[in-house]
Structure 1
Amino acid sequence: MLVKEWARLEGLHPQTVWKWCRQGTMPVPVEQTPTGMWLIHDPKYETASHPNPAGSRTVCYARVSSGGRKGDLQRQADRLKAFAVGMGVEHPEIVTETGSGMDDKRRKLNRLLSDPTVGTLVVERRDRFARMNMGLVESALKAQGRRIIVVDDTEPDDDLVRDMTEALTSFCARLYGRRAAKRKTDAALRAARDA
């Protein structure tokens, strides 16, 4: 589990826990990932809090928005795998995808969400899973006894800030999408007139 989450559960300040991690004075096992992130392995929280139902799978989902970011995609997948292994998953599955976080046209993610054998989805950040309405997906999965684990949940805690960010993201996507569509339409009309 992450430092912030463990500190909250133990009633400690995260800075104190990070200091203990660096000094090697933590009362429970810890490890530092190759990217520098500290993972805390406290048996009383990891094994008892959210066991996977028998037969369910844990899948790590990594996404980037364009093909030019393949290196980022691999590093993201490696971090997720290290996190899942730290959680106690022996052989975590890794699913990688390239596509926009603004639409629902991601075949691999749709397959994972519709597969009832996937009990836990692990994502690096909320925006790697979906730019908007992630709370709705989390609620739907929770109703089925499934869950999403966000490794780096450092987004603003203020609901108003999160809602404003989602709204602006949506407006920008529509605006730039319309511009691109208009340019393509104009180019097609010019080609038809010139032919």
Structure 2
Amino acid sequence: MGRNGEGQKGLQPADFLICFLLFSYAIICCMKVRDWAGLEHFNPQTVWKWCREGTMPDRVTVERSPSGAYMIYDPKYETASRVPVDSGSLRTVCYARVSCADQKADLQRQADRLKAFAIGMGVEHPEVVMETGSGMNDKRRKLNRLLADPTVGTIIVEHRDRLARMNAGLVESALKAQGRRVIVVDDTELDDDLVRDMTEALTSFCARLYGRRAAKHKAQAALKAAHDA
């Protein structure tokens, strides 16, 4: 050892090991927004918005790096490998629905909000089911599959009319009798979707009376008359 190194100890193997473990811990537990969004199946733009507004799930900590980037610490990815899985527990599923295919962006945002709500409840791995279809339609395949699945203990919907436009209370009562439940995040209804569903119901009714060609025009005329009344 040279003169400048007299009285000084070099890094020992144990020191390298500690540095490696600390570095690995930081890599595993802190991640970029895009990486965390990918693991949680969120839209990265939604997560960036939550970071800016301070509305991330309670269990998640958000820090700013020296460069200004958001870094996310999520304890779930620190301990997930050590948490035993109870295969007999009932599943929690978030159900998101919109009426029309042109609402795809709204459907994704709705799903993101539901998943964030479920995580805030303490659900570690909430499932998300997204479906496009009228709230008046009782033959929605994905919803019917959830209702018929006894392993689904909790269904989370943003609004009650996402579950069904009519008789949603009967669905809730039937599930409750089986020891299952529906959680409604917000009890208000969406007026835009209500108009869409009513238009669809009237169009179907008019098609039976006047034929398919005149059905849409007749339904719009009926809605206008109701609005002007």
TM-score, reference length from structure 1 = 0.59
**2:134 alignment counterpart:** 100
**1:178 alignment counterpart:** 205
Partner of 1:148, secondary structure, is strand
Percent sequence identity is: 65
- RMSD (Å) for aligned C-alpha atoms: 3.3
For the structure 1 residues 175 and 137, does the alpha-carbon distance in structure 2 shift closer, same or farther, using more than 3 Å as the test? same
Report the Cα offset of residue 175 of structure 1: 2.7
Separation of aligned partners in 1, 2:196 and 2:167: 12
* 1:76 and 2:110 correspond: yes
Return structure 1 stretches of 4+ with deviation > 3 angstroms: 36-41, 168-174, 180-183
For the structure 1 residues 38 and 138, does the alpha-carbon distance in structure 2 shift closer, same or farther, using more than 3 Å as the test? farther
AA aligned opposite 1:179: C
Q: Answer yes or no: is the 8 Å Cα contact 1:102–1:130 preserved in 2.
A: yes
Separation of aligned partners in 1, 2:159 and 2:54: 14
Choose 1 or 2 for highest CA Rg.
2
Partner of 1:119, secondary structure, is strand
For the structure 1 residues 100 and 171, does the alpha-carbon distance in structure 2 shift closer, same or farther, using more than 3 Å as the test? closer
Quick one: higher RCO (CA 8 Å, sep 6+), 1 or 2?
Answer: 1
Q: Give the alignment partner of residue 152 of structure 2, picking from 115, 118, 133.
A: 118
Report the Cα offset of residue 174 of structure 1: 3.9
TM-score, reference length from structure 2 = 0.50
Separation of aligned partners in 2, 1:107 and 1:174: 19
Q: Which runs of 5+ in 2 are unaligned?
A: 1-48, 59-86, 216-229
Separation of aligned partners in 1, 2:54 and 2:170: 28
Q: Which runs of 5+ in 1 are unaligned?
A: 1-32, 42-52, 156-165, 188-195
**1:6 alignment counterpart:** none
